[in-house]
Amino acid sequence: MTAVRRRHAASAALLLAVGALAACTTPPAAEPPTADAAAPPAAPETPLARAERLQDVDPAAAVAALRPLAQQGDPQAQVLLGRALQAGSGVARDELAALRLFEDAARAGHAEAQVEAGLARLSGRGVAADPRSAAAWFEMAAAQNHPQGLHHLALATLDGIGVRRDPGKALALLERAAGRGLAAAQTALGRAYAEGQGVPRDLAWAARWYGEAARQGEPEAQFRLGVAHISGAGVPPDPAAALTWLTLARDRGHAEAGPILATYRERAAPQARAAAAAVVARWRPAAAVPDGDDGPTILYVQQRLQALGIDPGGIDGLAGRKTRAAVRRFQEDHGLPADGLVDDATLAALRAARGA
């Protein structure tokens, strides 16, 4: 059970955007505001907003503000107070009271609360572990398309914990959670494709999902993407990219990244080391949800187009003019709207197309 708990606790990145800067234009000067155009007064802070603001600066005051709201049945207040009780933040730790709050809010249909209740039931926080009840809460959250609910239900379904084991259903749930931007699900999905867990092995598709999670700062995905760039497993061999992702993973506490980074860095060219250091220095997490133009998706598309004999103009993760033209050609050949944009239908057709 320890390994399963670790997998469920590992929830919750990022092939960085590299390329030419967009041309800047200067907006016309705004007319000076008049007295009649004065901004309306700010809306007064709600009690719940005040409690949320206090959580980091004065946990005890936040708890005091949350209690009456939770007693009145506010589900978000119940979740926040439950988390405080579970962590002992601003109040004595009481995991049973936390679970009761989570389940009160969960019964009201609050998806976050359903996930929290499921996690508490799964790990036995406040009560004896009950995987079946945990899975039931995850199913309710997943029915609302909550990413964490989808992810945890996928892991339970993959291992048969509290529900019937069904790898196919688990993969479909992971796909949904990954598509909604959950880095942990993207990493798990990448690993499934990299290792052929219930699906045909597809290193390029695995690298795409590692890239999406790595862009968000997920250390395991950064580590796996860095290793992939060393050997060219699903991505082009790229010493600078390998050093970049391994460094980021190490800096975020990934235990395996440091030793591999140290060994690989010794034999990397000075130019690769310098390029990686520059990227790491300015790296910031990117948006969560794939939009078709993100670096990992474009890199995958370019590799697929090249394998199909269509020149994308480079394998660099940048949606340049030649890549757009190659996408349009593929779309025309497959009866898709030929706009050069990478949507779900284009991705599905690229994955299904046969090529070298």
* pLDDT at position 30 over 90: no
Task: For residue 46, count other CB atoms closer than 10 A to its CB.
Answer: 10
Residue 85 has pLDDT above 50, yes or no: yes
Q: What is the mean pLDDT of residues 31-54?
A: 76
Query: What is the Cα–Cα distance from 347 to 19, expressed in whole angstroms?
Result: 23
Lowest mean pLDDT among 28-32, 101-105, 199-203, 228-232: 28-32
Parse the chain into domains and list their residue ranges: 51-131+143-194, 202-282, 295-352
Mean pLDDT estimate for the chain: 90
Lowest mean pLDDT among 7-16, 102-111, 324-333: 7-16
Residue bearing the bigger pLDDT, 38 or 78: 78
344 pLDDT more than 60: yes
Per-residue pLDDT band at 37 (split at 50, 70, 90): low
Q: How confident is the model at residue 25 (pLDDT cuts 50, 70, 90)?
A: very low
- Cα(64)–Cα(70) distance, integer angstroms: 10
pLDDT reading at 65 higher than 50: yes
Q: Distances in Å between the alpha carbon of 253 and those of 212, 219, 250, 256?
A: 19, 7, 5, 9
Over residues 281-327, the pLDDT tens digits come to 999 998 776 667 889 999 999 999 999 999 999 999 999 999 999 99
CATH superfamily of the domain spanning 295-352:
PGBD-like superfamily/PGBD (1.10.101.10)
The answer for residues whose C-beta is within 8 angstroms of residue 185's C-beta and 6 or more apart is: 147, 150, 151, 154, 174, 177, 178
The answer to whether the beta carbons of residues 216 and 234 sit under 8 Å apart is no
Contact 174, 183 (CB under 8 A): no
For 200-256, write each residue's pLDDT tens digit. Answer: 999 999 999 999 999 999 999 999 999 999 999 999 999 999 999 999 999 999 999
Q: How confident is the model at residue 15 (pLDDT cuts 50, 70, 90)?
A: very low
356 pLDDT above the threshold of 70 = no
Specify the pTM. 0.82
- Between CA 309 and CA 312 the distance in angstroms is 9
Min mean pLDDT across 37-46, 97-106, 170-179, 341-350 is at: 37-46
Amino acid at 75: P
pLDDT digits 0-9 by tens, 110-168? 999 999 999 999 999 999 999 999 999 999 999 999 999 999 999 999 999 999 999 99
Give the residue among 150, 141, 55 at the shortest CA–CA distance from 102: 141
51-131+143-194: CATH, from 1.25.40.10, 1.10.1040.10, 3.30.70.20, 1.50.10.10: 1.25.40.10
Find the largest Cα–Cα distance for the chain: 68
Which helix (H) or strand (E) covers residue 53, if one does? Answer: helix 47-57
